[in-house]
Structure 1
């Protein structure tokens, strides 16, 4: 389910400075496709391309970027390694990153978000409107661009929140990411308070909850 592109003032977008953007993907076809979409948006992206993490390092040595669009799967490395390179660079630690993947794998998505990505999107979902909304939402958090977006529209009531959540949860992929995140969070909490359910790391949530109901199924250290 592609998100609706956020509504931003056309006047404000016209004032946006160039967004220094790096597209990292080993596929020339995919790079060119993203570049074509980026060059057709109603704000300016100044796009550079890199085909590998080594190429990424060379680009970082030449200039700073505001935005990184990072392919996850590459022959000699992956997008998470690219994120480590970006985050460890002295001048790029605050740039925004969006991970792009050809496969819907919630574990990759969770790892990317934990590593500092602002978003995780599928190549099959990318369209000009989808890319526009994703990029603008990510850039809103950057100090140098926040003045151009204005105050976000407030959520007026609980029903509106419920409506947004219902739309999001209709997406199977979104549900799978939430499930994985909740499972990890609960396991972390259990370990933090010293409770051992004796379950293997891959146990699913149903078994986790069923076992927790048994009076002698856990032990305090």
Structure 2
């Protein structure tokens, strides 16, 4: 889950990872509303960023020939292809092969995340989770990882697990699902002979709201 970096990572970012000047970033997204929203979030991060926008893979390809970027954000679902097609263009261009790449999507497909990481992405975000804090953390992490070796299978699994955990937290946070789960637990408690005094609805709802309950092993 994007909750911050260790002090060692922060030192690396502030020392050698972030460019001396503004971060040169490129956003590929064919949805004008989403481009505006991501630009607004980018401006609210604590980073100095010069953001260019490309509404199509063709436009992105032309921009990649003319400029070197530190960071490229790619929407997965495009009118003329997918973000994976865009990654091939980035690799073929040659000039920006070392740029940090973040794949952004509007779905929760785990296989999409796995494929994105295996294809060279340094982070994977869901549009529904975006905020200035999440975006800044992702950008900093992607810039750091772009200077390192490609992720191992274990690292890909860890990133995917974090992505799925965020998605499950969002789903289990819904009021209707919380209420249904609470009722199921009460029924299970009754059938098991547990004391109803400790199974009142307020206590359960408070307990279920804790992420540690959802993911505790």
- Shorter-chain-normalised TM-score: which range? 0.5 to 0.7
Residue 194 of structure 2 corresponds to none
Tell me the residue number matched to 1:114. 118
- Aligned partners of 1:97, 1:169: CA distance in 2, in Å? 16
Residue of structure 2 equivalent to 1:128: 132
Distance in 2 (CA, whole Å) between partners of 1:104 and 1:170 is 8
Q: 1:28 to 1:90 in 2, by over 3 A?
A: same
Distance in 2, Cα, partners of 1:169 & 1:51: 26
Give the aligned CA root-mean-square deviation in angstroms: 2.8
Of residues 60, 78, 85 in structure 1, which corresponds to 2:82? Answer: 78
| Matches for 1:41-56 after TM superposition, within 5 Å | 41-56=45-60
How is 1:1-221 mapped onto 2 (pairs within 5 angstroms)?
Answer: 2-6=1-5, 8=10, 12=14, 16-143=20-147, 168=162, 171=165, 173=167
Number of aligned pairs?
152
TM-score, normalised by the number of residues in structure 1: 0.61
* Residues in 1 aligned to 2:163 and 2:41: alpha-carbon distance in whole angstroms: 28
Residues 4, 129 of structure 1: 8 Å contact kept: no
Relative to the length of structure 2, the TM-score reads 0.63
Higher fraction of helix: 2
- Provide the C-alpha distance between the structure 2 equivalents of 1:138 and 1:38, rounded to a whole number of angstroms: 15
CA distance in 2, matches of 1:136, 1:118: 10
Whether the 8 Å contact between 1:22 and 1:50 is mirrored in structure 2 is yes
The CA deviation string for residues 52-94 of structure 1, in whole angstroms up to 9 with x for no partner, is 1001111112211111110000111110000000011121111
Structure 1: gaps spanning 5 or more residues: 147-163, 175-221
Q: Which runs of 5+ in 2 are unaligned?
A: 149-157, 169-217
- Tell me the SS of whatever aligns to 1:113: helix
Maintained 8 Å contact 2:30/2:56: yes
d(CA) in 2 for partners of 1:172, 1:130: 12
SS in 1 for 2:77: coil
Q: Is the 8 A contact 2:110 2:164 kept in 1?
A: no
Work out the CA distance in 2 between the residues paired with 1:104 and 1:92. 28
Please state whether the residue corresponding to 1:140 is helix, strand or coil: helix
Secondary structure of the corresponding residue to residue 48 of structure 1: strand
